[in-house]
């Protein structure tokens, strides 16, 4: 069982680690997909960078420093931490996604 953060600072640190570890790849149409290790499947398809950042910023809307640090983590993820298309295609080979969905995703990544 994973220990829950005890305070807001620990929660922020945990969320930043989560963002850094996310498996996100860019699709050929310019949007992104997110792979879930827990589900062993694509969990989000065709999200924009702006939508992703907005989601995280909303969680810290009352914490100016939190918003700043989350934005930095998100920008870093999208600038330097995306999963390559090759890696995402490898993950899809053994994913729990339905075969038709896997094929559709493969086309969207190439």
Tens-place pLDDT, residues 2-23: 555 568 889 999 999 999 999 9
Place of tokens 């963002």: 19
CB 71 within 8 A of CB 57: yes
Tell me what pLDDT residue 3 has: 59
How many residues belong to the chain?
110
Q: How far apart are CA 48 and CA 3, in angstroms?
A: 31
Tell me what pLDDT residue 48 has: 97
What does the domain layout of the chain look like in residue ranges?
Answer: 8-109
Tens-place pLDDT, residues 28-78: 999 999 999 999 999 999 999 999 999 999 999 999 999 999 999 999 999
Tens-place pLDDT, residues 20-34: 999 999 999 999 999
> Is 1's pLDDT higher than 80?
no
């Amino acid at each position: 069982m994973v220990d829950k953060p005890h305070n807001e600072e620990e929660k922020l640190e945990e969320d930043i680690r989560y963002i850094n570890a996310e498996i996100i790849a860019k699709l050929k149409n310019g949007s992104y997909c997110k792979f879930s290790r827990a589900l062993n499947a694509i969990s989000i398809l065709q999200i924009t960078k702006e939508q992703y950042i907005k989601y995280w910023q909303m969680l810290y809307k009352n914490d100016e420093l939190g918003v700043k640090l989350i934005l930095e983590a998100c920008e870093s993820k999208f600038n330097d931490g995306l999963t390559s298309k090759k890696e995402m295609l490898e993950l899809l080979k053994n994913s729990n996604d339905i075969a038709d969905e896997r094929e559709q995703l493969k086309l969207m990544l190439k």
